[in-house]
Structure 1
Amino acid sequence: MIARPELKALVPSFLNAYEESRINAIWNDQSRRFRDFWTMRVMAPAAGTISDEDCDRYIAILDRNGKGNRKGSEAVAKVMVPQGAWRKLFNEFHSGNRELGAAVDRVFSVSEPTARASAIDAVYRLNAGARNNLTGASGNAIGAMLAAWEPTRNLSMISLRDRRAIIEYLGLQLPYEWERATIGTLMADTNDLIIAAAQELGLPSNARTITAFFYTADAKQLWRQGSNHVVRLPDGIVSVSVPTHEDEEDEDDAGTGEPAGDVGELHESMQVQALLASIGATMGFKIWLPRSDRSRVMKAWRPEPGQLLDSLPLGFDATTVATVEQIDVLWLDRRSIVRAFEVEGTTAIYSGLLRMADLVALQPNLKVKLHIVADASRRDKVMREIQRPVFSLLEGGALRNFCTYISYDHVREISENAFLRHTTQGVLDAFAESAEGDDPL
């Protein structure tokens, strides 16, 4: 099923405005330069270090946040890999771990979907346990390099979440369950499935052009609405969207591509996020962190094997899972969420509350304790926001009945408890403040 006349109607005007020949010329040159860098520098047997300056020229092709990118320039995508991590990866391939470099090289050299899926999975196995940003759950780094290597054949849409949303919107079918497939299989198959579907819509087979189309404002509004959910409220039906971290301004400006540095340089909210993860793990809970936050949070918290979940073992629908995955910290006991935390630094408190409200709206019978965690200076703002009238209309009850405030200082105090390993989660309730009794808006 692909009909979707509302999407197909956007194709002619897009093709008329999109300068495909000019952009193709840019990418032909950039792809040639990236291939030369890879074969003549990264994979060259000569010892020594590839300089930051040399690396940065090609990071700018891969990552929209890379140094050297200028307004109007072309890059694969916003990859969310720090500049320093890219540099280390290239040098690791070059001289630190030649076996890993050869495994990535094989990903480039094969194009048949099954062979490419196997090659990607081999990289993931070889790199298991490494914290080098190469093999994240979204496949961003490998996806970006594939798109730079062969931009007309590999989608610049490196987000598997976005690929899945488009596939579901178009009603396309994969011959397996998404959750049971390897990441290599998902990356290879979704690439070809979306390209084939785009051609049925009237788009050319050029993967870069297809990506540009799906990320136009009008097209994106359509397929992202596929992740909306109809919610029944006492006075009618509303559509609930799923706010994501990528839709917001990131407080530590991850868009610069600068490496986050050591723990002392992490923004306060990330340090608190790490403390909450550590507290929950010490109490015996499994921990979930959004994939986009993991590399930074794990500069301050080093989980033991099995403590940090790679996927959520929840029996919810896809819309609910997409919402839950964006919450800053989750504590889980087996297959159940016990506590959910949104840590608010300089970002709008309202965005975190929207995720909490969506969760309550989507699963009104879900009994989870929700917490907004913020600095004491923002306590009154949190209380006002929780009591917004819109949050009182949820089918499961007013948000203020489920969601409380905890200060940064109290999180630190809990983390310093010498008997934390023998302490129950109920200790949080002693520090949590309810909006009940505070003046509403």
Structure 2
Amino acid sequence: MEERNYWLDLFTGKTWEKFLQSGASVSGFRKSRQKLAKKIQLGDYLICYITGIQRFIGVLEVRSYVYIDDTPIWEDETFPCRFDVKLLHQLTPLTAIPVKSLRSQLTIFQNLKSPRAWTGFFRGSPAQFKQADGKIIVDVIKQAVEKPIETEFDEKLYWRKPRTYESSVGVVTVPDDIDTEEEQPKEAISKKEQPEKSSHQEIQWLLLNLGSELGLDVWVARNDRNQEFHGTSFQNIPRLRKELPRQFDEATNRTIELIDVLWLQGDAIVAAFEVEHTSAIYSGLLRMSDLVSMQPNLKINLYIVAPDERREKVFNELNRPTFARLRPPLPKICQFIPYSELKAKIEGIGEMLKYMKPEFLEEIAESCETDEAS
């Protein structure tokens, strides 16, 4: 008898609950995944993973070959490439297995180019696990069913699901909400302007100071050079450059000059940061987009730095077709850094900061690529 294969089956909290409510007998994938789905055989295991909370929550046994069925099961999408399945092992969100708890056991965490590179495996399903990894995950889930251990999870992340759509360029988002800022009268905006401006300046200052302490040259957007934070002028930050290297055309140089913060090593740009505090986060993304459009072969780490509560907004905007169709796609090369993680990381490192390398940001940066959770 052939050895069974193990496959990733992505869910959001919402689609997992709907799967259970519908009898837990059918699992589905996007039409674009049909070719891969045809490789799944009778008796294979689908390992269920909740994207928002990054936990394994169940194991399904495949009871049919793939078939196409558009009958509605899930509210938001069809997922027509379907399999009849049997639910073998089921956990709850509280007892589900955090994937990071298996870091030392799974090969997907080995030989990574960056600390968060493992997340790429969990961006689309089905995806085939290595035999050893699949067996380990199933065994751990079975043990957790017998001896459950509860660990708290974020309810908002469990239910989080940006609206995604199939397109000729892949899975994209089409935000249908109007920015709060656009709906408010000017008086309301002016009342918010000062605290938002202060937060923007604080994060700019942190990034500039951080780059400087890492031994890098730094650049602040040309129109922000006269800003200050807590009485310290940006122009007093060590290693702040007055001019940028001129290896690009005029249009590219103009775009780069307006990016909120740059880190440089010699004449090479190491990282670019856009700080987006307001609800209308579009301007920074457009600058990133312009840069990628004009210099598609440029190798720069791009980051959107924003408040934690803006995570979903950043994700949705970044995955618009306008940005997703770029080559390379902007969501693939631009990552999200939440304010809280940046501040906590800097505080935690303390005086050791000067011994760090810029790559440490990968430990807190989050991928902005869409997942294909059913």
Shorter-chain TM-score: which interval?
0.3 to 0.5
Greater percentage in helix:
1
Question: What TM-score does the superposition give when structure 1 sets the normalisation length?
Answer: 0.38
Greater percentage in strand:
2
Question: What TM-score does the superposition give when structure 2 sets the normalisation length?
Answer: 0.45
